[in-house]
Copies of this chain bind each other. A is one copy, B any other.
Amino acid sequence: MGKQMTEMLKGTLEGLVLAVLSVQSAYGYEITAWLREQGFADIAEGTVYALLVRIEQRGLVDVQRVPSEKGPPRKVYSLNASGRASLDEFWVTWDFLSDRISHLKPQGHHR
C-alpha cells in the first residue's frame, strides 16, 4: 500500500466500514476479506480489528458473539442509531471534501 493511500484512509476507512455495516451486519474477518476484494489488497487485518474495537467503544455498533463452524466465535457488528448518525455525518464531510477536491482536478473543466 502506498504511503499516500495509508494517509488517505485515515478517516475514510471508518466511514467505509460504517457504510458496509449499514447494508448488513458483519464480522471483522469478513469485512477484511471484502475490502481486499474491493481492491484494498494490502489492508492489514489488525487495522480492521482495531477500527472495530474503536467504533464499538464509541457506541456506534452493537456486538453479538456468534459461533462459527470453521473457527473461533465471530464478533458480529451491527450499526445502531449512533452509528447511523455518525455515518450520515461522514457522508456530509465526504461530500464537502470530495466536492472541493474535484474542483481542483485538471479534468474537472471539460473542453
Residues of A at under 8 Å CB distance from B? Answer: 2, 4-12, 14-16, 19-20, 22-23, 38-40, 84, 89-91, 93-94, 96-98, 100-101, 104-106, 111
Pick from B5, B20, B39, B40: contact of A104, CB under 8 Å: B20
Cβ of A51 to closest chain B Cβ, rounded Å: 12
Q: Which residues of B contact A15 (CB under 8 A)?
A: 4, 101
Q: Is the interface of A mostly helix, strand, loop or mixed?
A: helix
Interface pair B16/A11, CB less than 8 Å apart: no
Nearest CB in chain B: distance from A7 CB, A: 3
Q: Which 8 A-B pairs have the closest CB atoms?
A: A7-B11, A8-B11, A19-B104, A10-B10, A4-B93, A7-B10, A5-B93, A38-B100
